[in-house]
Structure 1
Amino acid sequence: MSRISTPDLPATPYKFYRPDARLIGVAAKAALLADYWDAPFAGAATDGAEFGFRDEVYWFYKSARPITKSEAGAHSLMNRRDSSVVSLPRDFDTECSLTMGVAGDLIQAEGLEQSKNILFSNVADILFEKDLSFANYESVAAEDDIVKKALGDGRSFTMCCSKAQYSTLTQHNGKRFSVLNTANNHTFDLDLAGLETTQKLLEQDGIVSIGTPRDIEEYGRGSVLTINGIKIGFVSATFGIRRFKLPVHQRHRIHVAKLCSKYVAPELELLKQQIADCKAQGCDFIVGSLHWGWEFEFFPRESQIEAAHALVEAGVDLLLGHHPHVIQPVEIYPTKRDPNRIAVIAYSLGSTTFGWFTAPYMMLSLMLDIQLSKGTVDGEQRTYIAAAKPIPVFRHHFMQDGKLLMRIEKLVEHLAPSGKMTSSVQQMNEYAKLVLGDSYAR
C-alpha cells in the first residue's frame, strides 16, 4: 500500500471538528490524558437533541480513542458471530435465488468527485455485480454554490455534497446501487430542499430510496421490490435528526423514532408498523435498515441487542445498522419464530466513505456478501439467507497525477506475514478480529 504524500490529512474527527464551546475541548483533552473512559459511558446520549456537556466531552474523547470494550450485558453476543453456520435447511428445495451486496455509510469528502469510477473499482464485485446492492446515503446533494456555503471551511458537522460527488458515491462505471437508505441524522442538513433534490436524483437514476416518504400515505409503510421472483420489503428508521425542525404538515417526510435515547427504551412501533405492512404486501423477505448506535464504539449497547432481537422476532430477516463510523459485530441469530431461519444482524457496517481520516479505526468498514434462496421446506414456501459473509474493507488514499484519490480496498488483500504488513493494516486487522471474532481470525 503506497504512502500518502499529502501531510495534512486529519487522523481523527477529534483533530478535525471544533466543539461548540472551548471548555468542551479542554475537558476532552484532560480526559484523554487521564484515559478516563475505557468502557462505554453508561449514561451517554447519542442523539444530539439529548446532548449535555458530558456527552459532548465523551463524543470528542472517543472520536480520538474509540471504545473497544463492550457493556457487560452484551457479552453473550460474542458467541454468535460465526457466519459459516449460515446455510439452508437440509431438505430445502430451491426455486430461485438472489445475490446482495451491502455497504455502510456513504458520506462526502472534499474532492471525492475526482475518484469517480476509481472509488469502488476494487470492490465492484461485492456491490455492483449483484442482483441487489444497498448502502446508507448520508450526504444530501445540492448545487455547488449551496454546498460550498453550507460546508464553509469543511469543519462543520454538516454533511452535504455536490451532484458530482453524489454520482461518485452512488455508481461505478454506469452501475448504480439498487436501494439507498436516506433516513439518518443528516437527512435535513440542507433543510427539506436538500432531501428533495437528493430524492429527485435518486429517482432519475432508478435508485430506490427508503426511510423518507414523499407522501403522507407512505408514512409507516415499507418499500417493496421484486427481484428474481423474490419479493423483498425494506423497513427503515433513524434515531434522530440534527437541529432542523420539520413543519407539522411535513413530519411524515422521515421515519424517525427514539431508538437510542438515554431517557427511554427503544421505541420500535414505527418499525413494527412497517414490518406489518411488508407482510400484508406478501413479502418473502424483510430487510431492516437502522440508523442508530453510539459513535466510535466497537460493540452495540445491550438495549440495541434486545431491540434487534425483538425486530427479528417481529419479522426482520436481515438487519443492517449504520451510524457509529466504526464496525460492530455481525450477529448470527437463530430465530424463535422459525426453527429453520437464521437472521443476520449487522449492528454497524462503519463508514464506507467519510472524509479523509487516516486513523485505522476510521478507515475500516464492513461490506456484506449475501445470498438469498426461495423454495420449499416441509411443504412450506420460505425465503432464507443461504450464505452471509462479512468482508472488512478500508479507504486507501493515494496521489496520482497530482490528485488525492480514494479507493476502497479489501483488507484481506493487504494482509501479510507478521512484520511485513504496514502498521495501519495491522491495526485494522486487529480491529476486525476484535469485532468479527474467531471465525474471521481463521
Structure 2
Amino acid sequence: MLRDRSIVKLPNTFEKNCSLTVSAAGDLIQADGIQSSKDILFERIGDILFDVDISTANYESPVTEQRLADETIGGGRPLIMCCSPAQFLTLTAHKGKCFTALNTANNHIFDLGIRGLETTQRLLGQNGTVAIGTPRRPEEYGRGKILTKGGIKVGFISATFGLNGHEPPASETYRVHVAKLMSKHAVTDLELLRKQIEDCKQQGCDFIIASIHWGYEFEFFPRHRQVEAARALVEQGVDLILGHHPHVIQPIEYYRTKRDPNRIAVIAYSLGSLTWGWYTAPHLVLSMILKVNLSKGLMAGARRTYIENIMPVPVFRAISYEGGERLMRIEKLHDHLNRSLPRLKQMKNYVDLVLGT
C-alpha cells in the first residue's frame, strides 16, 4: 500500500482548464449539549472545511423533534443515535455556511425509522445540503448524486454495510443504499456501488467520489478484503474513496490505476469521527480532514479530470468550560505540536503510525 502523497500531481503534458477544491471530513455524531457550541465547534477549522467549492462528511445522527434517546454502549443491543434540531444545526453549519453534501447512508440513519430519516432529509434540504445515499423515490435507488462546480461535474456514490437491524418496510427498501460490504459469510458485494458508478458515467461525470460506511470499529488499519474492494471500485471508475465507521483514522492509499496510468486515485479508508460525544482518549478525539484540489483539462487531446494535490489535515476535539457550559472545538493538530502535553504526543504518534509520516 503506497502512502507517499508526493506522487499525487498532474501529468507533465496535462493542459489545465479549470479547477475546484473539495474538503472531506469523517463522522458527524451528536454529543449531549453540543448545541452550546454553535458557531464555536468549527471556528478553528472553518477555513479548510467550508471555504471550498464542495464540503462533505458523513452525517450519522438522525434528527427528532421529540425527546432525545440516550446513547448507551453495551447491553447487547446497538446504540441509538439521534439529535435535536438545535444539535443538527451545530453539527452541519457554521456562521451561515453549510456542508455542500453529506453522506447519510450509514448504520445509524434508520435508528428512528422513516420519520427520523425524513426529518433529517428535510432539514438538510433547508440548509441547501445534498443528502447522499438515501433516495426519496424508488427511481433514485442505485443512482449517483451529481454536483457541478467550477465547470467540473462530480458524481457522489455511497453505501453502508448495514442498518443495525432497523430495516425499512418491505415497500420502501430503496430508502437507504445498503450492501453486504462486511459480511462474515459472503463475499463483498459491490454491485450497488458499481451500478452507481455506471450511472455517474452515463451522466457525464468528470470525477467520481465514493462515500462508503464500512470497516471495523477502533481498528487503525483496513482488512485485506477492504483493500481489494477499494481497488476494484477504483478500477471501475471511482477517483476518490472516503471511508468512515471505524471512529479512528486509517491509512490513505495513493493508487495508480491500471485503467489510466496517469491517474492517482486516493483511498481514505477511514477519516475518523470529527464529532462524537465527549470522549477524551487520544485515538477517539483524533480525526482527519482531506483537502483535495481537482483540475480538469486535456491530456493528449482527451478531456480528463485529475487530483492535482491533496492535503490530509489531522484534527482533534478539544473540550473547554466557559460560563459554566461545556464546549467543543475542533483544533488542527499541527497548531499544538509545540506543546508538551502527553495526549498531543500520543495523537502525533497515531498520525505517524497510520499515515506513514
Task: Write the distance in 1 (CA, Å) between the matches of 2:265 and 2:45.
Answer: 25
Asked if the contact 2:98–2:129 (Cα under 8 Å) also holds between the matched residues in 1, the reply is yes
Alignment equivalent of 2:317, drawn from 382, 395, 419: 395
* Number of equivalent positions: 354
Aligned counterpart, 1:146 = 67
Q: CA 1:362/1:379 → structure 2, altered by over 3 Å: closer, same or farther?
A: same
Superposed displacement of residue 220, structure 1: 0.6
1:48-82 CA deviation, whole Å, 9 max, x = no partner? xxxxxxxxxxxxxxxxxxxxxxxxxxxxx2xx111
Aligned counterpart, 1:290 = 212
Aligned counterpart, 2:80 = 158
Superposed displacement of residue 279, structure 1: 0.2
The amino acid that maps onto 2:190 is L
Is 1:319 aligned with 2:238? no
* Structure with larger Rg: 1
Aligned counterpart, 1:48 = none
Is 1:221 aligned with 2:143? yes
Task: Write the distance in 2 (CA, Å) between the matches of 1:99 and 1:321.
Answer: 19
Tell me the SS of whatever aligns to 2:321: strand
1:110-154 CA deviation, whole Å, 9 max, x = no partner? 0000001010001111111001100000000111x332xx22779
Superposed displacement of residue 84, structure 1: 2.2
Q: Which consecutive unaligned segments of at least 5 residues does structure 2 have?
A: none
1:350-386 CA deviation, whole Å, 9 max, x = no partner? 0000000010000000100100000001111000000
Task: Write the distance in 1 (CA, Å) between the matches of 2:220 and 2:53.
Answer: 30
Task: Write the distance in 2 (CA, Å) between the matches of 1:341 and 1:291.
Answer: 24
Higher helix fraction: Structure 1 or Structure 2?
1
Tell me the SS of whatever aligns to 2:63: strand
Aligned counterpart, 1:433 = 352
Aligned counterpart, 1:107 = 29
Alignment equivalent of 1:277, drawn from 188, 199, 208: 199
Task: Write the distance in 2 (CA, Å) between the matches of 1:152 and 1:84.
Answer: 42
Asked if the contact 2:251–2:355 (Cα under 8 Å) also holds between the matched residues in 1, the reply is yes
Aligned counterpart, 1:42 = none
Identity %: 59
Task: Write the distance in 2 (CA, Å) between the matches of 1:222 and 1:134.
Answer: 15
TM-score, normalised relative to structure 2: 0.97
Task: Write the distance in 2 (CA, Å) between the matches of 1:376 and 1:99.
Answer: 19
Alignment equivalent of 2:270, drawn from 345, 348, 359: 348
Equivalent residue runs for 1:47-58 within 5 Å: none
The amino acid that maps onto 1:174 is G
Q: CA 1:236/1:152 → structure 2, altered by over 3 Å: closer, same or farther?
A: closer
Alignment equivalent of 1:300, drawn from 222, 239, 256: 222
Higher strand fraction: Structure 1 or Structure 2?
2
Superposed displacement of residue 325, structure 1: 0.3
TM-score, normalised relative to structure 1: 0.79
Task: Write the distance in 1 (CA, Å) between the matches of 2:320 and 2:83.
Answer: 21
Equivalent residue runs for 1:225-264 within 5 Å: 225-264=147-186
1:276-309 CA deviation, whole Å, 9 max, x = no partner? 0000000000000100000000000000000000
Q: CA 1:357/1:305 → structure 2, altered by over 3 Å: closer, same or farther?
A: same
Equivalent residue runs for 1:163-174 within 5 Å: 163-174=85-96
Aligned counterpart, 2:117 = 195
Tell me the SS of whatever aligns to 2:293: strand
Task: Write the distance in 2 (CA, Å) between the matches of 1:152 and 1:345.
Answer: 31
Task: Write the distance in 1 (CA, Å) between the matches of 2:126 and 2:210.
Answer: 24
Task: Write the distance in 2 (CA, Å) between the matches of 1:437 and 1:304.
Answer: 19
Superposed displacement of residue 435, structure 1: 0.3
Q: Which consecutive unaligned segments of at least 5 residues does structure 1 have?
A: 1-76
Task: Write the distance in 2 (CA, Å) between the matches of 1:412 and 1:357.
Answer: 20
1:369-423 CA deviation, whole Å, 9 max, x = no partner? 100000001111000000111111000001111111000000011102xxx5101
